[in-house]
Amino acid sequence: MKNFAIVIGINNYIHIEKLNYAEQDAQKLYDFFINELQFEETNIKILVSNSSNNINQFSPIRSNIKSGLKRLSEGNRFEVEDNLWFFFSGHGTYCEGLDYIMPLDGSMDDIQGTGVTVKEITESLKNSGAGNIIMILDACRNEGKRSGKGIGEQTIETAREKGIITFFSCLEGQSSYEVERLQGGAFTQALLEGMGRYATVGQLHEYIKIRVPQIGEENGKPLQNPRVIVNPPSKRNLILIEKNAKVDDIQTLKNNAYQALYMHNDTALADLLWRHVLMLSGGKDEEAIEAILEIRHRKQNNEQNSDFTFSRKKTVLKQKNPELRNNNQRMVAIKTMKIYILLAIFFQGILVVLLIGFANTDGCTVPTILMSVLNILWFLYCIIAINKYAKKNNL
């Protein structure tokens, strides 16, 4: 698996109110990718403004952004196991049903003619061939003075439709605040903290949704709530930061991969998840290799929906997934033990009734003693047998 990234940060807008730390946030993320996550420098493209606004091939102007997106869409140089990151820090807005990021030369007086639609960005990212796409939008940063509604529902719908993991710095109607003490945005600060500690999408989301409002409160800023869109939900368990991954994170990812392939027959998602499992194991996980070969076979034979009924999928899933199989066996063992206990009580009751009958009959001393002994022996046998069964099944 390889990591690729496009990082954009704009402070010195030509026609829009300037920002203080968007470029710095982009540089911080770039440095984190290089120094902490060991991305190859050749796999990261960073576009930032500069104080002099000298326009060149690395300037985040509209033509450069759009040409870069076009190359992404046409190149198809990525693999299904690759991660493709897109980070934008700057102004974002909404116009006539579409969300836009505003490039260095963008103008709020001509949003459609000078902005770049988020829809175009998501389509290019999706067409790149990378299996796992993470889009991070730290926009709406001019503290409530932006034009339009800001990036919101249209991007959310597109992200869900295309299965792109999307981080928003704030909810629609809120602003994404810059903090002078941090020399950066509250959202990017929380994001970098989380990426330094956690591995999965879900863990990162849980951290930033608490940390961003906390940073704002500590620095006297209005409420800012980040939002994360993940579709399908199992992608919350995708491991983004490999060095932070724990054994449980990998096992959860495997469980999701089993379900995607054997229960939901979603070969595209299963292929992505299993390839991540294989990568995390250093190419040694036999179950991942077997599953990837099966996916390839299904694709070649175009039999994705013909061989696996729901009951068959459940059976295969239980056979292949140790955790689910063990849970199923435990449930069966508990039910069986309950039946044993009920049967023991039933036969014990019969013996007690017979014992009482003999005890009330004249001249039945020997049978009464015999029934008492049998009653005690049966009771002891039941206790020993049930205890042995419970130990055998770890109950």
Percent of the chain with pLDDT over 70: 81
pTM of the model: 0.74
Quote the CA–CA distance of 187 and 138 in Å, as a whole number.
7
25, 13 in Cβ contact below 8 A? no
Own/partner contacts of 51-54, CB < 8 Å, gap of 24 or more, are: 51/12, 53/12, 53/14, 53/104
The residues with which 331 forms a beta bridge, in sequence order, are none
**Residue 231: φ, ψ to 5°:** -145, 125
Percent of the chain with pLDDT over 90: 48
Q: And the tokens for 183?
A: 């020399």
Looking at residue 118, what DSSP letter applies?
Answer: H
373, 328 in Cβ contact below 8 A? no
Quote the CA–CA distance of 47 and 114 in Å, as a whole number.
17
Q: Which of 249, 230, 69, 84 is nearest to 160 (CA)?
A: 230
Quote the CA–CA distance of 69 and 65 in Å, as a whole number.
6
The residues with which 6 forms a beta bridge, in sequence order, are 45, 86
**279-321 pLDDT, tens digit each:** 888 888 888 999 999 888 888 876 544 444 434 444 444 454 5
Rounded to whole angstroms, what are the CA distances from 17 to 245, 273, 368? 41, 43, 101
119, 99 in Cβ contact below 8 A? yes
Average pLDDT (206-227) is: 95
Position 363 confidence tier, pLDDT thresholds 50, 70, 90: low
Average pLDDT (260-289) is: 88
**11-32 pLDDT, tens digit each:** 999 999 999 999 999 999 999 9
What pLDDT score does 364 carry? 61
Is the pLDDT at 76 greater than 70? The verdict is: no
395, 372 in Cβ contact below 8 A? no
